[in-house]
Every structure is written in C-alpha cells, then in structure tokens.
C-alpha cells in the first residue's frame, strides 16, 4: 500500500491507499491504534475495492500532538480524506472503537458521502456506568516505561495479547529507543471527547445501511447495543464468538467474512 498525506487545519493526516474502482472503503482504527493494524483487513478487500486506511490525528504517522481533539475535528478529517483521496465519492466507512464513533458521526452529518457504515466494537459514546475511563486509559499509557530499549523489553512489559502485538509492530524506532506512536495525554483527551456524551440523536440520523459487529466479550455494554438495534431495526448485527474488543486482531477471518458479505450486498 502506498502512503499519501492530507493536510487540514495545520494537521498532517497520513493514509495508506491501494486498489482501484468506484467502490471505496475508508478504514478508521481505534484509540492508540494506527492504520498498520488494519492493513490485513484492507488487503482482504483488494483488488475489488479501493481502500483508504487513515492514521487519525494524534496516531501513527499523522500529527502526534494536534491542538484540536474534538469530535468535530476527527469528523472533518474524514471529510478531507474522502474529498482529496476519494474525490468526494460516496464511501463505505468502517471504524473500530473510537474510529467507529468517528464513522458514526461522519455518517450522520454527511449522508451524501456515506454509502455504508460499519461499526466494529463501536458505540454511541458517553460514560454510562464506566467511570472515568479516559483518565484510567491516560494513566495506563503514561505508565509505559518508555523509551523501550528493544522489542524484547517492550514485549515483556506489554505482554502477548493481540493488541499488544499490534503495538509492538508499530513502535517508532528513535535514536534513544522505541516509542509508541501516540502521546498518553492526547489519548486521554481524545477519548474524553467520545465519553463526553452519548450520541443517540446522531445514531438515529444515520441513513446508510449499517452493520454492527461486536465481540462476544467486547466492551460495548449489551444494553447499549440492544438500544442501538431497537432504535434502528434495519441494522444488521454480527457477534463474533470468543472475541473481545479487538475483533479484527483476534479473529480476522470471521471479521473479514462479515465485512465482505455486507459490502457485497
């Protein structure tokens, strides 16, 4: 996949692009992720589709310390990418976790740009009964003993879960050691904007055909998922048995099968 950049409002957005044709798919990773972890998903859609995998602001190869971390900023970034890289075509937008929340808001506000919406372990946001999880996540990322001297030290700290393996593969090799491609404070503030309120009105505004994919052991509350489906009975839902929040990393085959089937209809 080739890397292209989009510049908007003082921020550089890095994207991986491949494929051809009029059926464009935009992939948005979750908090503390990057485009790299969605490359296997993108490759499974080639060559039938044109795929754009975005490093969202504050992540990956995009601007690491953007001043604006509002939900509006993330949505307008997607608009810029679709306009400049996809030529303003109507796209299938796919988002995991925080990326799913971005995709939802994008689909609600810009229906003319969205052909289909896919949420992978993505919900409407808000805190519900989850406490102050933005602060908890920020503290977790701040606890990393960086820079890591090498991959072995990083692996000993991060562990061998699928998401840890994704972090390990994406570490930034700097002269003083290995660093994550994100800043803890940026992660805290970015997810705080998601947690600020539940976007039920926006969810009901979405006009595009929608697929909701959840892990059996995912983190989106069951009550939230039930309400999402009850408010929009047209939504298709797939539950991936045995999977947690990072379905695309834990059971790629089942995830890709569900995604391809939905897109092909």
Per-residue pLDDT at 21: 83
Per-residue pLDDT at 242: 97
Per-residue pLDDT at 102: 98
Distance separating alpha carbons of residues 42 and 19, to the nearest angstrom: 9
- 224 phi/psi in degrees, rounded to 5: -65, -45
Tens-digit pLDDT profile for residues 61-111: 999 999 999 999 999 999 999 999 999 999 999 999 999 999 999 999 999
73 and 57 in contact (C-beta within 8 Å)?
yes
Cβ-defined contacts of 88-92 (< 8 Å, 24+): 88/113, 89/22, 89/24, 89/113, 90/24, 90/114, 90/115, 91/24, 91/25, 91/26, 91/52, 91/115, 92/23, 92/24, 92/25, 92/26, 92/49, 92/116, 92/117, 92/118, 92/263
Per-residue pLDDT at 265: 84
Per-residue pLDDT at 132: 86
Distance of CA 207 to the CA centre of its chain: 20
Per-residue pLDDT at 130: 67
Per-residue pLDDT at 24: 97
Per-residue pLDDT at 245: 97
Segment-wise mean pLDDT, segments of 10 residues, the chain, 265 residues: 96 97 95 98 96 98 98 98 96 98 98 98 87 90 97 97 97 97 97 96 98 97 96 97 98 98 93
Tell the CATH topology of 2-129+197-264. Answer: Rossmann fold (3.40.50)
Per-residue pLDDT at 252: 97
- Neighbouring residues of 249: CB distance < 8 A, sequence distance ≥ 6: 37, 162, 163, 165, 166
Beta strand pairing status for 177-179 and 172-174?
antiparallel
Give, in order, the Cα–Cα distances in Å from 256 to each of 165, 180, 182, 199, 237: 19, 27, 27, 27, 14
Per-residue pLDDT at 9: 93
Per-residue pLDDT at 115: 98
Per-residue pLDDT at 250: 98
- 63 phi/psi in degrees, rounded to 5: -50, 125
Give, in order, the Cα–Cα distances in Å from 212 to each of 12, 117, 238: 30, 9, 6
β-bridge mates for residue 38, sequence order: none
| pTM to 2 decimal places | 0.97
């Amino acid at each position: 996949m080739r890397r292209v950049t989009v510049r908007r409002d003082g921020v550089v957005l890095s994207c991986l692009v491949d494929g051809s044709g009029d059926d464009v798919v935009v992939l948005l990773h979750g908090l503390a992720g990057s485009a790299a972890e969605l490359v296997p998903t993108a490759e499974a859609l080639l060559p039938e589709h044109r795929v754009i995998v975005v490093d969202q602001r504050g992540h990956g190869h995009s601007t690491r310390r953007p001043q604006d971390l509002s939900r509006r900023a993330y949505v307008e970034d997607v608009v810029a990418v679709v306009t400049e890289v996809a030529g303003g075509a109507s796209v299938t937008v796919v988002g995991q976790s925080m990326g799913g929340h971005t995709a939802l808001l994008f689909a609600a506000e810009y229906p003319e740009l969205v052909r289909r919406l896919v949420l992978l372990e993505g919900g409407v946001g808000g805190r519900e009964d989850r406490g102050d999880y933005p602060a908890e996540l920020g503290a977790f990322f701040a606890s990393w003993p960086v820079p890591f001297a090498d991959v072995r030290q990083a692996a000993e700290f991060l562990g061998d879960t699928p998401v840890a393996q994704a972090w390990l593969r994406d570490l930034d090799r700097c002269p003083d050691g290995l660093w994550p491609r994100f800043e803890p404070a940026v992660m805290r503030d970015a997810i705080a904007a998601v947690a600020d309120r539940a976007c039920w009105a926006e969810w009901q505004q979405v006009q595009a055909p929608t697929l909701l994919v959840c892990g059996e052991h995912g983190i989106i509350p069951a009550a939230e998922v039930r309400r999402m489906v009850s408010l929009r009975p047209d939504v298709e839902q797939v539950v991936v048995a045995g999977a947690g929040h990072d379905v695309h990393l834990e059971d790629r085959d089942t995830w890709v099968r569900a995604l391809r089937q939905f897109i092909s209809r």
